[in-house]
Amino acid sequence: MNTPAGETANDQQLVCSSCGTSPPPDEQSAARLTWSRGSDGGRTTWTCERCSRVNLRSIEGKLDPVWW
Ligand SMILES: [Zn+2]
């Protein structure tokens, strides 16, 4: 298997801005539906499904201090 570089059809590959993971090529289009899209300084950022859930929990966790 010797794949030459430069065969990139996608101009934008999904990469999770939290954990840095990226879906396999055949799941890129599906991930666009399930991942959370955001924007950071005019650039589009993506957060994978798993990190989205974690972020959501941490945001909710801010509301009530359970550490006491
Ligand atoms: Zn992630």
Tell me which residue of 54, 47, 59 sits closest to 15, measured CA to CA: 47
Mean pLDDT to the nearest integer, 18-34:
93
Q: What spacing in Å lies between the alpha carbon of 44 and ligand 1's midpoint? A: 15
pLDDT tens figures, 3-23: 555 444 445 789 999 999 999
Both ends of the chain: CA-CA distance in Å? 57
Across all residues in the chain, what is the average pLDDT?
A: 80
Q: Does residue 47 register a pLDDT over 90?
A: yes
CA of residue 22 to ligand 1 center, whole Å: 8
pLDDT of 56 reads 79
20 vs 56, more confident: 20
**Contact residues for 42 (Cβ-Cβ < 8 A; gap 6+):** none
For the record, the structure tokens of 2 come out as: 């010797």
Higher-pLDDT residue of 59 and 21 is 21
Q: What's phi and psi for 47, nearest 5 deg?
A: -125, 125
